[in-house]
Structure 1
Amino acid sequence: MQSKNGSEWVDFGKFLIKLIIFMALLRTFFFAPFNIPSESMQPRLLIGDYLVVSKWSYGYSKNSVPFQLPIIPGRIFASDPKAGDVVVFKAPPTARDDYIKRVIGLPGDQIQMIGGILHINGTAVPKKKIADLVIPVTQNMIDASIETDSFPCFSPQYEEKLENGQSQCRYPQFEETLPNGRKYKILDVVADGRGDDSQAFIVPEGHVFLMGDNRDRSEDSRWPAVEGGAIGIVPMENLVGKAWFSVFSTDGSASWIMPWTWFSATRAERIGEGF
């Protein structure tokens, strides 16, 4: 006869198995978390932002499944993204790491950068100067600059010292309007940057052309895919999902051993922002 104690452990084990299955199904077919580790999608996304990604938006493939288990053949329930969507995907050439970029070109589109102006199918995309982006220098920006041997504000010329001893970054900011009417903000901080002029790319069938909103700090479809760097033109099968909304944001100053800093480090104004 099984003891009451043993029965409780069996029930608890069954509960854990059910919970794991439920979470795996949720993670595979509905939602996925994603955090922002770099500045490539400024101004929309900052280091320390945490997002929810909708998994159903573009269909499912092995890249939808935890550990990329090959249980889904090809891409099922497929739906193409729209120009302007912000997407999470498995980055070529290895398809191991999750990246986030904006969809600029769809199959059949011709994409080219000329003098810092995006051209789609031979037509210049309107690019309007708007108010500068001004953001405080945060701990996670400092940490990222140390890892990449760079400056928190990309270059000292964009850093402003404040009277309280802290610093902020001021970047030139623009608004682009795609042919479908989708508007979004970009940063263009380097005149004649290496990505400001490119060849004309024709997006193949079943692929998308992706770019970061921070044009001078994004390794994207403007260059051939290199592990840990640029991504080339990305197969739609690599799409994981569509950025849905921000669920949390931190400036990186929190310490696990000082719980009160968990609240002071939170950027509450960024929580709940949609795409």
Structure 2
Amino acid sequence: MFRKKSKLTFHQKKTIFTPKLFREIFSWISVTVLSIVLAFVFVFAFGMQVKVIGDSMEPSAYNGQTVLVNKLIFKIFGPSNGDIVVFLPNGNTNSHFYVKRVVAVPGDKVQIIDGSLYINGTIQDKDDEEYDKMEDAGIAANEIKLKSGEYFVLGDNRNSSEDSRSANIGIVKTSMMVGKVWYKMGIGDHKGGIVLN
């Protein structure tokens, strides 16, 4: 009896470089490059973490709480009234980052009268029980007119805050700001979450 010869071979068929294969390779390369670009943008925009120092932003943020800073959107749109921003006072890189709320924007007139905040002659926190009357008006005892690129910031816990009222901080310029707080990490019993202002 004759045995059939085995058709097993150890030589693989050569791959033919077809347009379909080319499109598939190009697709994988494109997805990889896009992923790298998106990762870079995400890290640039949201990669900065800042730790809150002190109780000046309570109850919005607590001492030791970590916040994530959005630098990209901030550079495109700039700060708005009510935003919680991160800045270096007078651009001093040796200082720690300050976290405060924008209460007045360029063109506004700011003054603190009898412990209350006035913007453009209108009282802001008349019926707002969240804010106590400010014991110290600081430099805002006299009316301040904000120029282009200038912002007035306050801590939410106003009687325990070093902010734009203090002569050593004063008006905060856009060039001093790093970005806007967009997310607060939880700390202890205090809940974190997205900042919606």
Q: Which residue of 2 aligns with 1:235?
A: 173
Residue 32 of structure 1: how far off its partner (Å):
1.2
Aligned counterparts of 1:238 and 1:206: Cα–Cα separation in 2? 10
> Structure 1: any 5+ residue segments left out of the alignment?
1-21, 60-77, 130-173, 175-184, 226-230, 251-266
Q: Does 1:221 align with 2:164?
A: yes
Q: Which residue of 1 aligns with 2:90?
A: 92
Aligned counterparts of 1:82 and 1:47: Cα–Cα separation in 2? 24
Aligned counterparts of 2:106 and 2:57: Cα–Cα separation in 1? 23
CA contact (8 A) 2:46 2:68 kept: no
Deviation by residue 1:195-245 (Cα, 9 ceiling, x = unmatched): 2871111112111111111111111111322xxxxx110110121111112
> Structure 2: any 5+ residue segments left out of the alignment?
1-37
Q: Which residue of 1 aligns with 2:136?
A: 194
Q: Which residue of 1 aligns with 2:148?
A: 205
Instruction: Count the aligned residue pairs.
Output: 157
CA contact (8 A) 2:134 2:159 kept: no
Report the TM-score when normalising by structure 2. Answer: 0.70
Query: Where do 4+ consecutive residues of structure 1 move more than 6 Å?
Result: 22-25
Deviation by residue 1:77-131 (Cα, 9 ceiling, x = unmatched): x4221101001112225243311100011111100000111100111114325xx
Aligned counterparts of 2:135 and 2:65: Cα–Cα separation in 1? 27
1:80-159 to structure 2, matched below 5 A, reads 80-92=78-90, 94-96=92-94, 97-128=96-127
Aligned counterparts of 1:201 and 1:239: Cα–Cα separation in 2? 20
Report the TM-score when normalising by structure 1. Answer: 0.51
Aligned counterparts of 1:209 and 1:91: Cα–Cα separation in 2? 12
Letter in 2 for 1:274: V
Question: Aligned Cα RMSD in Å?
Answer: 2.5
3-state secondary structure, aligned to 2:165 = coil
Letter in 1 for 2:172: V
Larger radius of gyration, structure 1 or 2?
2
Deviation by residue 1:128-148 (Cα, 9 ceiling, x = unmatched): 25xxxxxxxxxxxxxxxxxxx
